[in-house]
Every structure is written in C-alpha cells, then in structure tokens.
C-alpha cells in the first residue's frame, strides 16, 4: 500500500526545560522586537514629512506673504487716494450745497475712469443694497453698428481710481441688478440675449451661471433685469425683459439656469389707431418689444412693462395670458418706468418722445406730463421723498423736479457731460447721503 511505502518525515529529537521565567523572557523579547519595528516605521514617516515640509514651506510662506502684501497694497492705495481727494471726501460727508429758495444746488464729486472701457457707453448703473460705497456699472454701446464686447465694473467710493472688481463679457452689457438680500450676486443682461450671474466673492473672473439656447435664452437684447425680492424660497430667482417680447423668470440651480416664461407681450394695433381706422387694424396683433419693467413695491406679483411702441402694460405673474391694464400716452419707445416707493398706486415713465409722465394705476391716461427739448433716457423717483424725481436727457443733463415745490419748473438742472446724439444716459439714486449717479461716454 502507498501509506506503507511512503517515507516518514525526518524527525529531530529536542530536549529542554521550560519554566515561567523562560516564557517571560520570550514574551519580552517579542515585545521589544515589535517596538523596534514600530519605531523604525515612525522614524521613516517623520523623515518623509520633514522632507515634504521642507519643499512646501517656501511656497506656503510666499502665498501668505503675497496675500498679506496684497491687502497692505490695497489699503495703502485707498489711503493715498483719500489723501489726494480729501477735500472731495469732506464735501461728500459734511458739506451741503447752498441753493436759492425754490431751487436746489448740486455739488459735483467724483469721476470714475477705467482704461479698459475707453470708447464704451455706460449702459447700466446700480448701487449695492448693503455696501453703501459700492456700485456696479455696465459698459456697452448704444450704436447698433458698433456692438462688441462689454464690461462690468464695480467701483467703490473708497478708491475712485480703479474698480474693485471687473469682468469682461463677449457681448455688450445692456442691464445690471444686485440681489437685494445677497449683495454679492449681480445679474447682467447682454445685447446678444444672454443673461449672466456674477459672484464678487469668487476669484474666478467668469460668471457662475449663464443662459444658453438649451434653456430658451432671449433672441433680442435684454434691456432690463430685476431680482425677485421675495427671499422665502430656497432658490434665487430673477426676471428679464427683452426686445423679443418675452418676460422670463430665471431660477439659479446648482450648475445651470432654468427659465420660465412669465409673459409674452402682444400689441393690439387697434388700440393705437383712431376710431375710424380701428376696424381695419382689429386683426393686426403682434409682439411688442419690452424695454424696461418694475415690480410693485407691496404686491410682488404685479409689475409694469414698457415697450418700444410706447405702450405700458400692467401684468401679473399669476395671469401670464392677459394684462391687468394698458396705458397709452407715449408716442415712442419707453426708456424707464418705476413705481413710487411711498405711494403704491403711482408710477412714472420716461420716453424717447421727449416726455416724462406720472400715472395713477386705475387711470389709463397720465395725470401729469413734463415736456423736455430732447429724448429722455431714464427717470427715477427719489428714495427719500414721494414728490421728487430726476430725469436724464440725451444731451447729458439731469433735471430734478419736486412736485411739492413747483410742478411746472425743475428745482435743479445740471449738465454732466457732452452726449452725442442717440446716446441716452442712465442714472441711479441712493438714499444714503442723497447721492445721484450720472453716466457719460468713456473717452
């Protein structure tokens, strides 16, 4: 059998004596060997870490020193700028321009320049809702044949010589707006129909969100953008109006924008003709190009929209298929509309037909009309007075009216710059310090 044929394994006789101290010595020797192995591993790991730190320490020190140096240089630049224009800062903070009875005096303060935006028009201005010294300016062109790239610059009154932040866009900028509750977000509307969202907290000079053809972007220039003031929702939302006749809602998702059509502006030409010709124009219904809009201060779902045809529509986000009211009175494109911040039923409008009109929402005809000698580029109510407003005309002049003082004559009128024909200035007002901004062409 195989079991019998197999050779047995070799054996070695072993003899010895085993007791407790021999067992103890064996365990101690085994423990010492494990400790020596662990110590060798820790030493090699420390050597690797020391070598890694030796290679990374200079770079870390350089980064820290550059960061601290950047802040020091920025602070020094602000101090030098303040010392250079100390008289202007004192005028802004303490001085009050003396005016005659019934008239107001305007004190000029600063001019903001940037070398990269030369020969571009300022197409939008907006003060930051939280930081009272910061405002944003959008750059583009009012000439149809001179469209190119655009810029968005954020200037601070602490340093008037150079913008705090700036971004370049592929198309000209037409409109901008800060988020009312998250002041780092800036919505931008472009001439090619795109809308962008920038965050000043990010170091990257690229938009965090941008509209594309996939999300049904506008096909005409985006003339106005407005953030939704309701912060009850979890997602941020803003609205845009374009020359293609659409009012669109944009919701900021994680990596994209989602669009929803709020209203499609349709113009019934029978309303614009005389009663004799209304029968022939009844069937003529087309899209109206939107130019500007503003939300009601107390009813967030109600808004008014100005059009290129001179018609103002009162709309609601809850009823996108029909208008709440139609206001006829302007003969040319609407350039600005705004609700009165104190009177919920009154709003104001400006137009290229050389007029500014004040409306009461229940009436289809204007309550007051103010005539100018040229096209009006924009109009805004004063944030601290229910009877005061300012209008900017195409020649670079700002006209300030106070209805409580004089309804027929402006209380102040001052020329900011020489404007070329066809370039309508934009402006914005701020409550703190009674400051008003007026734009001009960068030369």
Average predicted confidence (pLDDT) for the chain: 82
Domain segments of the chain as ranges: 265-443
pLDDT in tens, 330-376: 999 999 999 999 999 999 999 999 999 999 999 989 999 999 989 99
Handedness of CA 226, 374, 144, 205 (dihedral sign): negative
Alpha-carbon distances of 55 from 28, 51, 66, 228, 295, rounded to whole Å: 41, 6, 18, 50, 58
Q: What six digits make up the tokens of 184?
A: 């780092």
**368 burial via Cβ count (<10 Å: 0-12, 13-18, 19+):** middle
**Residue of 150 and 45 predicted with greater confidence:** 150
Least confident of 191-195, 267-271, 288-292, 406-410: 267-271
Considering only CA atoms, which of 190, 271, 262, 259 is closest in space to residue 225? 190
pLDDT band at 63 (very low <50, low <70, confident <90, very high): low
Alpha-carbon distances of 143 from 140, 172, 420, 422, rounded to whole Å: 9, 11, 11, 8
Measured at the alpha carbon of residue 147, what is the angle toward residues 214 and 195, in degrees to the nearest 5? 30
pLDDT band at 38 (very low <50, low <70, confident <90, very high): confident
Q: Is 309 left (phi over 0), alpha (psi -120 to 50) or beta?
A: alpha
pLDDT in tens, 229-248: 776 667 889 999 999 889 99
Question: N- to C-terminal Cα distance for the chain?
Answer: 112
Sheet holding 311-316, edge to edge: 290-295, 302-307, 311-316, 325-328
Count the helix, strand and coil residues of the chain and give each as a percent rounded to the nearest 5.
20, 35, 45
**What is the third-level CATH fold of 265-443?**
Methylamine Dehydrogenase; Chain H (2.130.10)
The alpha carbons of the chain give a radius of gyration, in whole angstroms, of 34
- Measured between alpha carbons, how far is 335 from 142 in angstroms, rounded to an integer? 13
pLDDT for the residue numbered 293: 93
pLDDT for the residue numbered 205: 81
DSSP state of 332: S
pLDDT for the residue numbered 61: 57
Which residues partner with 381 through β-bridges? Answer: 389
Whether 417 shows a pLDDT value over 70: the answer reads no
- Measured between alpha carbons, how far is 218 from 247 in angstroms, rounded to an integer? 9
pLDDT for the residue numbered 349: 95
pLDDT for the residue numbered 396: 85
pLDDT band at 128 (very low <50, low <70, confident <90, very high): very high
Sheet holding 412-415, edge to edge: 376-381, 388-393, 397-402, 412-415
DSSP state of 146: G
Question: What predicted TM-score, i.e. pTM, was given to this entire model?
Answer: 0.76
**Residue of 234 and 293 predicted with greater confidence:** 293
Whether 284 shows a pLDDT value over 60: the answer reads no
Mean pLDDT of the 143-158 span: 85
Q: For residue 209, report the phi and psi dihedrals to the nearest 5 degrees.
A: -140, 145
Q: For residue 414, report the phi and psi dihedrals to the nearest 5 degrees.
A: -145, 145
pLDDT band at 147 (very low <50, low <70, confident <90, very high): confident
pLDDT for the residue numbered 427: 53
């Amino acid at each position: 059998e195989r079991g019998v044929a197999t050779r047995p394994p070799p054996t070695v006789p072993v003899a010895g004596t085993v007791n407790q101290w021999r067992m103890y010595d064996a365990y101690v020797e085994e423990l010492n060997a494990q400790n020596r192995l662990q110590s060798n591993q820790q030493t090699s790991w420390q050597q690797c870490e020391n070598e890694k730190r030796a290679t990374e320490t200079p770079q870390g020190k350089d980064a820290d020193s550059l960061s601290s140096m950047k802040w020091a240089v920025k602070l020094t630049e602000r101090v030098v700028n303040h010392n250079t224009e100390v008289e202007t800062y004192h005028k802004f903070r303490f001085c009050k321009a003396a005016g005659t009875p019934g008239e107001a005096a305007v004190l000029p303060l600063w001019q903001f320049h940037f070398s990269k935006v030369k020969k571009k028009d300022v197409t939008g201005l907006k003060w930051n809702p939280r930081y009272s010294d910061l405002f944003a300016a959008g750059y583009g062109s009012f000439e149809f044949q001179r469209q190119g790239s655009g810029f968005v610059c954020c200037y601070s009154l602490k340093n008037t010589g150079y913008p705090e932040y700036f971004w370049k866009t592929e198309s000209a900028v037409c409109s901008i707006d800060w988020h009312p509750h998250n002041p780092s977000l800036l919505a931008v509307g472009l001439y090619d129909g795109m809308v962008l969202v920038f965050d000043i907290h990010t170091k990257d000079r690229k938009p965090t969100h941008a509209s594309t053809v996939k999300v049904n972007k506008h096909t005409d220039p985006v003339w106005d953008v407005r953030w939704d003031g309701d912060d009850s929702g979890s997602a941020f939302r803003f609205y845009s109006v374009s020359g293609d006749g659409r009012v669109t809602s944009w919701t900021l998702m994680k990596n994209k924008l989602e669009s929803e059509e709020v209203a499609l502006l349709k113009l019934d030409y029978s309303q614009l003709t005389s009663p004799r010709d209304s029968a022939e124009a009844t069937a003529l219904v087309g899209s109206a190009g939107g130019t500007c809009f503003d939300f009601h201060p107390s009813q967030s779902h109600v808004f008014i929209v100005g059009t290129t045809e001179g018609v103002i529509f009162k709309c609601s986000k809850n009823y996108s298929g029909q208008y709440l009211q139609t206001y006829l009175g302007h003969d040319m494109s609407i350039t600005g509309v705004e609700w009165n911040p104190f009177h919920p039923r009154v709003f104001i409008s400006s137009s290229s037909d050389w007029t500014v009109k004040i409306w009461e929402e229940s009436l289809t005809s204007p309550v007051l009309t103010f005539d100018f000698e040229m096209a009006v580029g924009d109009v805004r109510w004063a944030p601290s007075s229910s009877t005061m407003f300012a209008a900017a005309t195409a020649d670079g002049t700002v006209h300030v009216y106070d209805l409580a003082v004089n309804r027929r004559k402006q209380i102040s009128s001052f020329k900011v710059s020489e404007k070329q024909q066809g370039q309508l200035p934009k402006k914005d007002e701020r409550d703190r310090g009674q400051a008003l901004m007026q734009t001009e062409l960068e030369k």
